[in-house]
Protein backbone atom coordinates (compact mmCIF):
# COMPACT_ATOMS: atom_id res chain seq x y z
CA UNK A 1 0.00 0.00 0.00
CA UNK A 2 1.42 3.44 -0.94
CA UNK A 3 2.39 5.88 1.77
CA UNK A 4 0.41 9.10 1.81
CA UNK A 5 2.33 12.11 3.05
CA UNK A 6 0.75 15.04 4.88
CA UNK A 7 1.35 18.59 3.60
CA UNK A 8 3.90 19.26 6.37
CA UNK A 9 5.85 16.13 5.41
CA UNK A 10 5.80 17.09 1.73
CA UNK A 11 7.08 20.57 2.58
CA UNK A 12 9.84 19.12 4.75
CA UNK A 13 10.83 16.82 1.89
CA UNK A 14 10.83 19.68 -0.65
CA UNK A 15 12.94 21.81 1.70
CA UNK A 16 15.62 19.12 1.96
CA UNK A 17 16.31 18.12 -1.64
CA UNK A 18 18.11 19.74 -4.56
CA UNK A 19 16.41 21.40 -7.55
CA UNK A 20 15.66 18.41 -9.80
CA UNK A 21 14.23 16.12 -7.10
CA UNK A 22 12.21 19.11 -5.81
CA UNK A 23 10.73 19.64 -9.27
CA UNK A 24 9.91 15.96 -9.73
CA UNK A 25 8.35 15.65 -6.27
CA UNK A 26 6.28 18.80 -6.88
CA UNK A 27 5.17 17.39 -10.25
CA UNK A 28 4.08 14.20 -8.51
CA UNK A 29 2.20 15.77 -5.60
CA UNK A 30 0.41 18.42 -7.67
CA UNK A 31 -0.77 16.22 -10.55
CA UNK A 32 -1.71 12.89 -9.01
CA UNK A 33 -0.07 11.06 -11.92
CA UNK A 34 0.71 7.39 -11.45
CA UNK A 35 4.39 6.48 -11.21
CA UNK A 36 4.27 4.88 -14.66
CA UNK A 37 2.71 8.04 -16.13
CA UNK A 38 5.31 10.28 -14.49
CA UNK A 39 8.07 8.14 -16.00
CA UNK A 40 6.39 8.44 -19.42
CA UNK A 41 6.02 12.24 -19.39
CA UNK A 42 8.06 14.09 -22.01
CA UNK A 43 8.57 17.81 -22.64
CA UNK A 44 6.35 17.52 -25.72
CA UNK A 45 3.46 16.45 -23.44
CA UNK A 46 3.44 19.80 -21.63
CA UNK A 47 1.14 22.49 -23.00
CA UNK A 48 2.26 25.68 -21.29
CA UNK A 49 -0.26 27.82 -23.20
CA UNK A 50 -3.16 25.78 -21.78
CA UNK A 51 -1.53 24.80 -18.47
CA UNK A 52 -2.16 21.13 -19.24
CA UNK A 53 -0.20 17.91 -19.27
CA UNK A 54 -1.10 15.36 -21.92
CA UNK A 55 -0.74 11.88 -20.49
CA UNK A 56 -0.16 9.69 -23.53
CA UNK A 57 2.28 7.00 -22.43
CA UNK A 58 3.48 5.09 -19.43
CA UNK A 59 6.65 3.24 -18.56
CA UNK A 60 6.40 -0.04 -16.67
CA UNK A 61 9.49 -2.21 -16.08
CA UNK A 62 11.32 -0.17 -18.72
CA UNK A 63 8.65 -0.79 -21.38
CA UNK A 64 7.06 2.30 -22.94
CA UNK A 65 3.42 1.88 -23.93
CA UNK A 66 0.21 3.80 -24.48
CA UNK A 67 -2.01 4.50 -21.47
CA UNK A 68 -4.30 1.61 -20.58
CA UNK A 69 -7.58 3.50 -20.48
CA UNK A 70 -9.09 6.42 -22.33
CA UNK A 71 -9.57 8.34 -19.06
CA UNK A 72 -5.85 7.94 -18.29
CA UNK A 73 -5.01 9.67 -21.57
CA UNK A 74 -7.03 12.84 -20.86
CA UNK A 75 -5.12 16.08 -20.27
CA UNK A 76 -4.74 17.09 -16.65
CA UNK A 77 -4.43 20.64 -15.34
CA UNK A 78 -0.98 21.96 -14.58
CA UNK A 79 -0.63 24.18 -11.52
CA UNK A 80 0.76 27.61 -12.55
CA UNK A 81 3.56 27.29 -9.98
CA UNK A 82 4.47 23.89 -11.46
CA UNK A 83 4.37 25.36 -14.98
CA UNK A 84 6.78 28.09 -13.86
CA UNK A 85 9.13 25.58 -12.27
CA UNK A 86 9.11 23.41 -15.39
CA UNK A 87 9.73 26.40 -17.68
CA UNK A 88 12.60 27.54 -15.49
CA UNK A 89 14.15 24.05 -15.58
CA UNK A 90 13.63 23.66 -19.33
CA UNK A 91 14.53 27.14 -20.52
CA UNK A 92 16.86 28.29 -17.75
CA UNK A 93 14.97 31.40 -16.68
CA UNK A 94 11.50 32.36 -15.57
CA UNK A 95 9.24 33.79 -18.23
CA UNK A 96 7.17 36.84 -17.36
pLDDT tens-digit profile of 80-95?
999 999 999 998 855 5
What separation in angstroms does the CA of 26 have from each of 7, 44, 67, 71? 12, 19, 22, 23
Distance from C-alpha of 79 to C-alpha of 27, rounded to nearest angstrom: 9
Listing DSSP states for 22-82 in one string gives HHHHHHHHHH---HHHHHH--GGGEETTTTEE---EEEETTEEEE-SSTGGGS-EE--HHH
pLDDT tens-digit profile of 9-63?
999 999 999 999 999 999 999 998 988 999 999 999 999 999 999 999 989 999 9
**CB neighbours (10 Å) of residue 17?**
12
* CATH ID of 7-91, from 3.90.1150.10, 1.10.580.10, 1.10.443.10, 3.40.50.10800: 1.10.443.10
Amino acid sequence: MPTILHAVEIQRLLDNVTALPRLLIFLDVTTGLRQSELFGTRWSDLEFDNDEINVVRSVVHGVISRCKTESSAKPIPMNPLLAGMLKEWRFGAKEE
